[in-house]
Homo-oligomer: A and B are copies of this chain.
Amino acid sequence: MRRAILDKNDRLAERNRGYFRARGLLVLNFLSSPGSGKTTFIREAVKTLQPEFKTGVIVGDLATDNDAQRLRESGAPVVQITTGTVCHLEAEMVGRAVKQLDLNGLDLLVIENVGNLVCPASYDLGEDLRIVLLSVTEGEDKPLKYPPMFQSADVVIISKIDLAQACNYDRETALANIRRVAPKARVLETSAKTGQGMDAWREFVAQQHQERKARDPLCP
C-alpha cells in the first residue's frame, strides 16, 4: 500500500520535474524539523536573490497561513497548501499549487515543506535540489538520528548560527555528523537574523541557476 503510494508519487514528481524544466525553473525543496527557521531563512533568502532571480514560493502547513503571510513580506508570490493532518507535501499537491502561480519570468521556485524531519524525505516533489535545515539549537546528533532525511540532502543549511554560543553548539561534531551521513552535501552556515552566510547562499544559487541553463539551453 505504502509502496503503491510512493510509486504514484514518484511518477507525478517526474511529471513536475519535466514541467519545471520546460519552464526553465530551478526548484528548491526546503525540509527540516518544525522551528528550524525555514520560513525566516526563505524570506531573507528570497530578498537577497531579488531582483536578479525572480522567485515564486509554495508553502505547506497542516494549519494556518502564518508562514504564507510571512513569506509574502519577501515580495514573492506565495501559494499555500494546507495539508490538514498530512505530515508531508506530495508531488500531486505541488502540481496543483503551481497552477496558481504565474510562472512567466520566474527563475526560481521555492517549496517549503511541512515541518517534519522524517516523512517528507520519502516524497520527491520534482525538485532540483533538496535543502535540509538544521538549526544549532537542535543538537549536533540529528543527522545520525534522522538518516533518511539527511542522506537525501543536496544542501544542508545550518541555521540560527547566531545562537551557537548560547546553545554550546559543537561545530566540529555537527559537521562531522553531516559528512558521515551526507558526504556529498554542500554545507552552508547561516543566520537569517544577522545575515551571516547569506552571500555564500546567493552565490550558490546563482551558480546552480547557471548550471541549469547550461544543461538545458532551450530554457529561457
Q: How far apart sit A128 and B114, CA to CA, in the bound complex (Å)?
A: 29
Residues of B within 8 A of A145 (CB): 34, 61-64, 66-67, 115
Choose one: B33, B62, B67, B139; the contact of A148 (CB below 8 Å): B62
Q: Complex Cα distance A36/B36, Å?
A: 10
Query: Which B residues lie within 8 Å of A115 (CB)?
Result: 33, 117, 145-146
Q: Shortest CB–CB separation between residue A176 and chain B, in angstroms?
A: 14
Residues on B with beta carbons closer than 8 Å to the beta carbon of A118:
62, 85, 87, 114, 116, 119
Does A137 belong to the interface (CB within 8 Å)?
Answer: yes
Q: Which A128-158 residues sit within 8 Å CB-CB of chain B?
A: 135, 137-139, 141-142, 144-148
In the complex, A105→B203 CA distance in Å?
61
Determine the distance from Cα of A138 to Cα of B167 in the docked complex, in whole angstroms.
Answer: 13
A 158-180 to B, binary, CB cutoff 8 A, 1 in contact else 0: 00100100110000000000000
A1, chain B: closest CB distance, angstroms: 5
Is chain A's interface secondary structure helix, strand, loop, or mixed overall? loop
A35 contacts B by Cβ under 8 Å = yes
Given contacts A119-B118, A144-B64, A145-B62, contact A135 B87 (CB under 8 A): no
Identify A116's interface contact among B61, B117, B163, CB under 8 A: B117
Q: Taking beta carbons and an 8 Å cutoff, which residues of A are in contact with B?
A: 1, 33-36, 61-64, 66-67, 85, 87, 114-119, 122, 135, 137-139, 141-142, 144-148, 160, 163, 166-167
9 A-B residue pairs with Cβ-Cβ distance under 8 Å, sorted by A, are A33-B117, A34-B146, A35-B138, A35-B142, A62-B118, A64-B144, A87-B118, A116-B116, A116-B117
